[in-house]
Amino acid sequence: MSKVSKEVKVIVFRLQNEEYGVPIDYVGSIERMLEITRIPNTPKFIKGVINLRGIVTPVIDLRERFGMETSEYSNRSRMIIVHIDDKEVGMIVDEANDVVDLSEDDIETPPEVIGSVDTDYVRGVAKLEHRLLILLNLDRVLSNEEVNQLSAVEK
Amino acid sequence: METSQYLGIFIDESNENLQTINDGLLDLEKDPTNMEHIEVIFRAAHTLKGMSATMGYEELTTLTHQMEDVLDLVRNNQLPASTNLLDMLLHAVEKLEEMVGDISSGGDGKGVIQPILDQLKAIEKGEDVSDDSVASNQDVTSKELTLDSFEETVINQAKAEGLHTYHLTIQLADDCLLKAARVYMVFEILEKEGEIIKSVPSVEVLENEEFDQQFDVAYVTSIEQKEITDKIMKVSEIKQVSIQPIGNQKQTERTENIGINQEPTKLDSTTKEAQENSGSKRKQAANKTIRVNINRLDALMNLFEELVIDRGRLEQIADEMEHNDLTETVGRMTRISSDLQSIILNMRMVPIEQVFNRFPRMVRQLTRELQKEIQLDIEGAETELDRTVIDEIGDPLVHLIRNSLDHGIETPDVREKMGKNRQGHVLLKAYHSGNHVYIEISDDGQGINREKVLNKAIENQVVTPEQANQLSNRKIDELILASGFSTADEISDISGRGVGLDVVKNTIESLGGTIEIISEEGKGTTFTIQLPLTLSIISVMLSTIGNETYAVPLSTIIETALIKPEEIVTVQGQQMMHFRESVIPLIFLRDVLEVPDSANESAYESVIIVRKGEQVAGLVVDSLIGQQEVVLKNLGNYLTNIFAISGATILGDGEVALIIDTHSLIK
């Protein structure tokens, strides 16, 4: 652990009853639910594509991505548009309403079992006063491999 | 010097110059006595050398310089333009292209040039012997500086501009150790104050210290004779400098020396000059252009795409509101933006010449490797295509031409036996038709041996023997485009490299094009490639399935039809319909695309009849909306390889509609 702890700003969002975070650097915008065009023959968690100000952007349902139980979208549901490498993807979450500052020191490696998400997708956990924040490893969450593998299986 | 900002220009111009050299060499081969070709080549080589030197690409400079030396000999009739020589020069050009290519892809432009350099030098020396013997006779007295017409022109120009032109004879001290270094220093001094037009021996030879103690230089400068002497004498180990103005008397002397021989050439050069003048005038008129970075054009295109989307939205709003003025204004805007669209598309168009240019040399080389006699004819090189298509189409064409040369055209002896001309013909032709560009590659070779193709296809399990019996001739021909196919008995390094023509087919289809083969055994084969003019704005047929809207590219549609359910016949479990005397398979998109809540409630089925090459199929949709111009958008890097979907577009109401990839639906 470095002595000078780096501060990171994290967007906090909710899935079921757990709180998750992604570094703000990856986040392009947070959108209300937009009309989604379904794409056939893709894994279930890929909801389709949206028209994000003229750019066709794919969206995934994070609940389904992590194998959680699905729920109807409400007026609190949001799409968090994230950029990673040269990919741009919208992630549908139950709610997104907070930004917190974390220092790198607050982030711990995830224990074996944490919440409902496969630890593969977790970069670390951060303990805030009364809250536990699960930081996602976007690289893994948005890897193309699974998209292609799954679409191959479905064919 | 900070040169990076000129890099783009350097690369573009180098490529142009290399192309000129290339074309010139091929012309020269056809017409070896025509000095005009040599002049063109020489000038291009000279420019290239100058630019490379400025940009600091040493290898490029050295190699072009050596080429220049050899060309110089040819120009002065000291060396015949033999095939061997041309081979060598073409080889050098190839090397240069490689190096320029390296630079443009971010490399340092260094390449292994020694072997080709040595070869060129050998050629140069082979004929140079007489020159050397002359030199040794001349002792300290200045050696005759033979100037060619180009150099003469430069000198005459310089004189006209009031500059001095001198013939310098510089002698190094007898015990001079670092001759090359001294020469370099002298040259550096001279180049500061003027321009060296020629040196005898050549710079190359001087740098390698392959000279005695003396060298001659033709020099243009603004400073006085005395000053030059002083400056040069400051370099140590210089024994003597003698300077003479280059006068008119020299020219006459030269004409006398060469005598009658010179007369026709002189004449030639004047007429040539006249031609050139008129040529350059014409060129200027036709080519008032500026260079624009392709990225800017792309940005313009993107902005325009946004505009097209909004235009669609406006049209829709105007329709809904039924407001006269608004409708009228939108109508006008639509017309203007259509004009704008064609202009922007035109700006991105480049003549296919860029791609075709490299083929004559390739054919020439392969012809010799294969020991065949083949003539390549090119038609329609001025046909224009979108830049993006141009970038992609080169490799498939190379493949097809290699294929024609290797498998199509027979050896001269065989051709003679068949009663054909010994020389085979390959025609490369491009032309526009409608919204497409066609490229044809036809040869007058042996055609496709269908028996052989079938056997091979069965052997490679591309088809089963049962299927083979049912195939039409055309289908058999198309087998050569199937994966893993090579009909040459031996694997040659020309075209049988394990990758078959299926790669070509895939590339062309990925560009939204098609490829067809027409072959007649014994008479030849023609490949026809159809390509869209542009890749970013396409016309589509919009249709609905359930609550979803899908777009089918108009380019693949033959027609649309309404059929009654009882017109659908079932053959071997496959639903089919009658279409123009044949029976075509029906593809129910609601099943393929797993559309929820889609049910046909009307008494008819809407069918879009599409084709892929010669195959035809009917796509069954719920209803047809109509035809529209849309902007093609890709689905981004997250979603790749989605079955049956080639992209998306944004409709007037902001909704995203998916574009159906009909090619992957037809198997």
Q: What is the pLDDT of residue B279?
A: 43
Domain annotation covers residue B283: no
Does pLDDT of B438 surpass 50?
yes
Q: Which runs of consecutive H residues, i.e. helices, occur in B404-470?
A: 412-417, 450-459, 465-470
Does pLDDT of B508 surpass 50?
yes
Enumerate residues 58 to 117 of chain A having a beta carbon within 8 A of any beta carbon in chain B.
58, 85-89
The amino acid at B664: S
Residue B497 backbone dihedrals phi, psi, to 5 degrees: -110, 30
Domain annotation covers residue B393: yes
Give the best residue of A31, A38, A42, A65 to mutate against chain B (max B CB count within 10 A): A38
How many residues does this entry show for chain B?
A: 667
Same domain for B373 and B493, yes or no, is yes
Range of the domain at A136: 7-154
Least confident of A19-33, B256-270, B362-376, B491-505: B256-270
CA distance B93 to B99: 10
Q: What is the pLDDT of residue A112?
A: 67
pLDDT (tens digit, 9 = 90+) per residue, B399-423?
Answer: 888 888 888 888 888 888 888 888 8
CATH code for the domain in which residue A127 is found: 2.40.50.180
Q: Please give the distance of CA B519 from its chain centroid, rounded to a whole number.
A: 27
**Which secondary structure element, helix H or strand E, spans residue A27, and what is its range?**
strand A27-32
Mean per-residue pLDDT, B458-477: 78
Q: Do the chains contact at A41 and B594, CB–CB below 8 Å?
A: yes
Give the best residue of A56, A59, A155 to mutate against chain B (max B CB count within 10 A): A56
Does pLDDT of B470 surpass 90?
no
Cα distance from A103 to chain B (closest Cα, Å)?
A: 31
Q: Which residues of B touch A (CB under 8 A)?
A: 305-306, 309, 548, 592-595, 633-645, 648, 650, 654-658
What percentage of chain A carries pLDDT values higher than 90?
24
Same domain for B306 and B427, yes or no, is no
CA distance B384 to B296: 20
Q: Number of helices (H) and strands (E), helices first, in chain A?
A: 3, 11
CATH code for the domain in which residue B377 is found: 3.30.565.10
| Strand pairing class (B374-379; A131-136) | unpaired
Q: What is the pLDDT of residue A115?
A: 61
Same domain for B488 and B505, yes or no, is yes
Q: In what order do the strands lie in the sheet with B623-631?
A: B623-631, B537-545, B548-553, B656-660, B645-650
Is the minimum CB–CB distance between A155 and chain B shorter than 8 Å? yes
Q: What is the mean pLDDT of chain A?
A: 82
Confidence grade of residue A82 (pLDDT, cut at 50, 70, 90) = very high
Going by the DSSP 8-state scheme, the letter that residue A37 receives in this structure is B
Residue B20 backbone dihedrals phi, psi, to 5 degrees: -60, -45
CA distance B159 to B267: 23
Q: Burial of B388 by CB count in 10 Å (0-12 exposed, 13-18 middle, 19+ buried)?
A: middle
Query: Coil, strand or helix: which one is B484?
Result: coil
Q: Do the chains contact at A41 and B548, CB–CB below 8 Å?
A: no
Domain boundary pick from B95, B127, B159: B127
Confidence grade of residue B541 (pLDDT, cut at 50, 70, 90) = very high
Same domain for B362 and B482, yes or no, is yes
* B643 chain-A contacts, CB cut-off 8 A: 40-41, 151, 155
Q: What is the pLDDT of residue A38?
A: 92
Judge whether A8 and A101 are in contact, CB under 8 Å.
yes
Judge whether B397 and B441 are in contact, CB under 8 Å.
yes
CA distance B532 to B352: 13
pLDDT (tens digit, 9 = 90+) per residue, B542-577?
Answer: 999 988 899 998 888 889 999 888 888 888 888 888
Q: What is the pLDDT of residue B440?
A: 92
Triad B131, B133, B138: Cα angle to 5°: 100
Judge whether B516 and B475 are in contact, CB under 8 Å.
no
Q: What is the pLDDT of residue B608?
A: 93
Domain annotation covers residue A2: no
Q: Number of helices (H) and strands (E), helices first, in chain B?
A: 24, 22
Give me the number of domains chain B comprises. 5
Q: What is the pLDDT of residue A58?
A: 93
Residue A14, by phi and psi: left (phi above 0), alpha (psi -120 to 50) or beta?
A: beta
pLDDT (tens digit, 9 = 90+) per residue, B282-334?
Answer: 444 445 677 788 788 878 877 887 787 788 778 888 888 888 888 899 889 88
Same domain for B161 and B198, yes or no, is yes
Q: Which residues contact B344 (CB under 8 A, 6 or more apart)?
A: B297, B300, B301, B304
* A88 chain-B contacts, CB cut-off 8 A: 636-638
Domain annotation covers residue A1: no
* A42 chain-B contacts, CB cut-off 8 A: 639, 642
Closest alpha carbon within chain A to B635: A56
Same domain for B478 and B616, yes or no, is no
Residue A137 backbone dihedrals phi, psi, to 5 degrees: -95, 95
Does pLDDT of B268 surpass 50?
no
Residue B224 backbone dihedrals phi, psi, to 5 degrees: -85, 160
CA distance B332 to B349: 26
Q: Which runs of consecutive H residues, i.e. helices, occur in B348-380?
A: 353-356, 359-370
Same domain for B332 and B388, yes or no, is no
CA distance B66 to B45: 10
Least confident of A11-20, B265-274, B402-411: B265-274
Q: Which of B548, B594, B636 sits opposite A57 (nearest CB)?
A: B636
Give the best residue of B536, B593, B638 to mutate against chain A (max A CB count within 10 A): B638
Going by the DSSP 8-state scheme, the letter that residue B487 receives in this structure is -
Same domain for B524 and B545, yes or no, is no
Q: Do the chains contact at B657 and A87, CB–CB below 8 Å?
A: no
Spell B529-546 as b/e; 16+ CB within 10 A means b.
bbbbbbbbbbebbbbbbb
> Rounded to two decimals, what is the model's pTM?
0.51
Closest alpha carbon within chain B to A34: B655
| B403 is a catalytic site residue | yes
Mean per-residue pLDDT, B502-507: 80
Q: Which ipTM was obtained for this model? A: 0.85
The amino acid at B192: K
How many residues does this entry show for chain A?
A: 155
Distances in whole angstroms, Cα of residue B472 to Cα of each of A86, B51, B469 = 47, 58, 9
Same domain for B373 and B243, yes or no, is no
Query: Among candidates B14, B24, B206, B204, which has minimal Cα distance to B118?
Result: B204
Domain annotation covers residue A129: yes
Mean per-residue pLDDT, A38-65: 89
Q: What is the mean pLDDT of chain B?
A: 78
The amino acid at B73: L
Structure tokens that stand for B367 in this block: 């012809």
What percentage of chain B carries pLDDT values higher than 90?
6
Distances in whole angstroms, Cα of residue B180 to Cα of each of B134, B137, B187, B207, B400 = 22, 23, 10, 5, 50
Q: What is the 3-state secondary structure (H, E, C) of B21-34?
A: HHHHHHHHHHCCCC
Q: What is the 3-state secondary structure (H, E, C) of B454-475?
A: HHHHHHCCCCCHHHHHHCCHHH
Structure tokens that stand for A74 in this block: 């409400």
Chain A, chain B: beta-carbon pairs less than 8 Å apart: 83
Judge whether B567 and B578 are in contact, CB under 8 Å.
yes
Least confident of B46-60, B344-358, B474-488: B474-488
| B346 is a catalytic site residue | no
Return the C-alpha torsion angle B193, B194, B197, B199, nearest 10: -10
Q: Do the chains contact at A37 and B642, CB–CB below 8 Å?
A: no
**Max alpha carbon distance in chain B (Å)?**
106
Judge whether B595 and B548 are in contact, CB under 8 Å.
yes
Closest alpha carbon within chain B to A89: B638
Q: Do the chains contact at A148 and B640, CB–CB below 8 Å?
A: yes
Does pLDDT of B487 surpass 90?
no
Query: Among candidates B178, B162, B179, B161, which has minimal Cα distance to B170?
Result: B179
Q: What is the pLDDT of residue B263?
A: 39
**Max alpha carbon distance in chain A (Å)?**
52
- Choose the catalytic residue: B68, B97, B305, B478: B68
Closest alpha carbon within chain B to A54: B306
Return the C-alpha torsion angle B98, B424, B452, B667, nearest 10: 60
| B432 is a catalytic site residue | no
Confidence grade of residue B507 (pLDDT, cut at 50, 70, 90) = confident
CA distance B15 to B97: 7
Q: Which of A37, A88, A142 sits opposite B657 (nearest CB)?
A: A37
Count of CB atoms within 10 A of residue B205's CB?
Answer: 20
In B342-435, the DSSP E strands lie at 349-351, 374-379, 384-386, 424-433
Q: What is the pLDDT of residue B155?
A: 76
Least confident of B68-72, B213-217, B495-499: B495-499
What percentage of chain B carries pLDDT values higher than 70?
85
CA distance B32 to B80: 8
Range of the domain at B57: 4-127
Cα distance from A50 to chain B (closest Cα, Å)?
A: 7
Same domain for B61 and B160, yes or no, is no
* B641 chain-A contacts, CB cut-off 8 A: 148, 151
Same domain for B511 and B559, yes or no, is no
Q: Which of B636, B642, B648 sits opposite A42 (nearest CB)?
A: B642
Is the minimum CB–CB distance between A129 and chain B shorter than 8 Å? no
Give me the number of domains chain A comprises. 1
CATH code for the domain in which residue B200 is found: 3.30.70.1110
Does pLDDT of B499 surpass 70?
no
Confidence grade of residue B275 (pLDDT, cut at 50, 70, 90) = very low
Least confident of B141-145, B178-182, B583-587, B655-659: B141-145
Same domain for B335 and B397, yes or no, is no
Q: What is the pLDDT of residue A80?
A: 94
CATH code for the domain in which residue B652 is found: 2.40.50.180
CA distance B480 to B408: 13
Mean per-residue pLDDT, B634-641: 80
